[in-house]
Structure 1
């Protein structure tokens, strides 16, 4: 039984350590998204290059005072 407890303790420790690393990486990705938007990289390209959805990127932009991107050119039917 001690082996299972040791294994569980080790797995929990590993989980907690990777959780901290994941959150740190997430914050770095958020900062990179915001930096990209601030220098004028379009939200579609930011979405393509990031791990986040367009909706989440727009939310981050709004929360950080980044104005909405102007609409792109209208597409016409061929």
Structure 2
């Protein structure tokens, strides 16, 4: 089945890989990341963060970008503990 079709996939789709790649980058100032999300991925920031949060629980994402996923999981866990 095609990797982008949403069927059973052994690896991540292009959009998922692009989200993880964007998370691995640094941004110069406020609003730059949100602008990149809109311009490069064509997503609203809210939808981007929904997809990103789901990716953090996906073992395929961990295998693809372990440093990024583990860093984001630590941040998420810390924020949850503060609530």
TM-score normalized by the length of structure 2: 0.34
Larger Rg over CA atoms: 1
Higher relative contact order, structure no. (Cα contacts within 8 Å, ≥ 6 residues apart) = 2
